[in-house]
Structure 1
Amino acid sequence: MFTGIIEDVGQIISFSPQGYGYKIKISFKKQFDDLKISDSIAVDGVCLTVTKINGQSFEADISKETVSVTTFKHLKAGMKVNLERAMKHDSRFGGHIVLGHVDGVGKITSIKNEKLNAILTIEFPPPLKKYIAHKGSIAVNGISLTIAAVKENSFDVALIPLTIKETSLSDKKVGSPVNIEVDVISRYIENLLKYKD
C-alpha cells in the first residue's frame, strides 16, 4: 500500500520488451538504503516488484497487460517517473490509500498557472465518473491530490509549487497522458451497495 506522497523522481534508463512482457530499469537520486529485491515500489502510480538493485538504480518486470492499460505504453529512456516505496507500518499517513492499481489513463487538457498554484484539468475515461467527487481524493501518476472541481468528462486539481517541483508533473504538458487511480473507498462503497437488502 502507498500514500501518494512521492519520495523521489527517477529517470528511466531502459525500457525493453522481453518474452513475457517488459523490463524497466530506473535510476533514483535519494538514498533508498532499505530498498531490497521483492520490495513493492510505485512507479508513476503503478505497483511494481523490484527484481534487481545496482547502486542508484533498480529493475522491475512488467506484464504486457500492465503496459496496455497504463501510460507505460508511452515510456522511453530518459523520461522522469514518480517513485514511492510501500508504506511502513510506523510511517505517517500523509496522503490517502493508494494501491498502485491504475483504473484508467487520463489526459491533461489544460494547465493554468496562477499566483499561488497551477490548475490542471484532466480528462478521464467515462466509466470512472461515478468515483470522482468534488473535494475527494485521487491519485494522478501516483500523486495524492484533492479534486478541486468536477466537470462532464474532466476534473481539476490544484498543484502547489512544491508538488510541481518534487514530482514528474514538472515535465507534463497539455496532451500528456497520466495514470489515474480513484479512491478505493468509493469502490468498496459501490460493492457494498450491490448487496444492500
Structure 2
Amino acid sequence: MFTGIIEATAIIQKIEKRAENIQFTLTCPFTEELKIDQSLAHNGCCLTVVDISGQNYGVTAIAETLEKTNLGEWKVGSEINLERCLKFDGRLDGHIVQGHVDKNGIVKSIEDQDGSFFITIQYDETDDFTTVPQGSITVNGISLTVAASGTGEFSVAIIPYTWEFTNMKTLAPGNKVNLEFDIIGKYVTKLMKKNAVLPLQRL
C-alpha cells in the first residue's frame, strides 16, 4: 500500500533481459535501508527488491508487468520515481495507492504557467476507468488532483516542488506514463454497473 508521495528518484544503472522478464539494477539515496523482499513503487508500479549490492539494488519485471506499464521503455540513466510502502504510524498525505498500474496514458501537452505546469494526458477511457474534476489520480506513482476532466483525457497542475523533485520534469509530449485510478472510484463504478443489471424486485 502506498500514498503517491514520492520519496526520491532512482537512476537505472543496468538492464538485463532474462527470458521474458527484465532485471533492472538501480541506485537511490536510501539503498542501504532497503531489504530483500521489500515492496517498492517505481513510477507507481510495485516491484520487489530481489538483490542488494553496495549502492545498487535489483528488481524484476515480468512479462505481464512490462505489457501494462512503461517499464519496457526505461533506459540506462532514466530517472524513476520511488516510494516505499505506507507505514501505519504516519500520515496519509496523498491518497490510497496500491502500486497496481491500471493502464498507460500518453502526454498530450505540457504548459508552463509561469512556475507551475499544466499537463494534459490522454488515455483509453472505459466504464471502469474514468476521472472526475478534483478527484485523485496517480501518474508515474505521484498522487495528483485532477484539474480538468474530459472524454479520454484529463489534466493535472504540477507545483514547482513536485516538478523539481520527481521525474515530471523529464516528460515530453508523446511520452507514456503509468496510470492508477482511484480505488474507491473503481469500486463505486463496479457496484453501479452490477446494480444496473440486477432484475427489479417486486414488493
| Inter-partner Cα distance in structure 2 for 1:124 and 1:31 | 33
Unaligned regions of 5+ residues in structure 1, if any? none
Unaligned runs of 5+ in 2: 199-203
Q: Distance in 2 between matches of 1:186 and 1:158?
A: 21
Structure 1 counterpart of 2:162: 163
1:131: how far off? 2.5
Cα 1:130–1:22 shift into 2, 3 Å: closer
Partner of 2:18: 18
SS at match of 1:127: coil
TM-score (norm 1): 0.94
Q: How many residues align?
A: 196
Q: Percent identical across equivalent pairs? A: 38
Residue 7, structure 1, aligned to residue 19, structure 2: no
The CA distance in 2 between the partners of 1:32 and 1:24, in whole Å, is: 14
In structure 2, what is the equivalent of residue 189 of structure 1? 188
What letter corresponds to residue 134 of structure 1 in structure 2? P
Mean Cα deviation higher: 98-107 or 10-19:
10-19
TM-score, normalised by the number of residues in structure 2: 0.91
Structure 1 residues 94 and 63, CA gap change in structure 2 (3 angstroms): same
Deviation (angstroms), 1:58? 1.1
Q: Tell me the CA shift for residue 34 of structure 1.
A: 3.4
Q: Closer, same or farther in 2 for the Cα pair 1:53/1:78, shift >3 Å?
A: same
Shift in Å, 1:124: 1.1
After TM superposition, list the pairs within 5 Å mapping 1:52-91 onto structure 2: 52-91=51-90
Matches within 5 A, 1:91-170: 91-127=90-126, 130-170=129-169
Aligned equivalents of 2:180, 2:125: Cα separation in 1: 14
- Residue identity in the other structure for 1:139: T
Please say which of residues 11-20 and 40-49 is displaced more in the overlay: 11-20
The ranges of structure 1 where at least 4 consecutive aligned residues each deviate by more than 6 angstroms after the TM superposition are none
| Structure 1 SS opposite 2:191 | helix
RMSD of aligned Cα (Å): 1.6
- Structure exhibiting the larger radius of gyration computed from Cα positions: 2
- Which residue does the alignment assign to 2:201? none
Q: What's the CA shift string for 1:97-132, capped at 9, x where partnerless?
A: 111111111011111101241100001122267531
Q: Please tell me whether the aligned partners of residues 133 and 147 of structure 2 are also in contact (alpha carbons under 8 angstroms).
A: yes
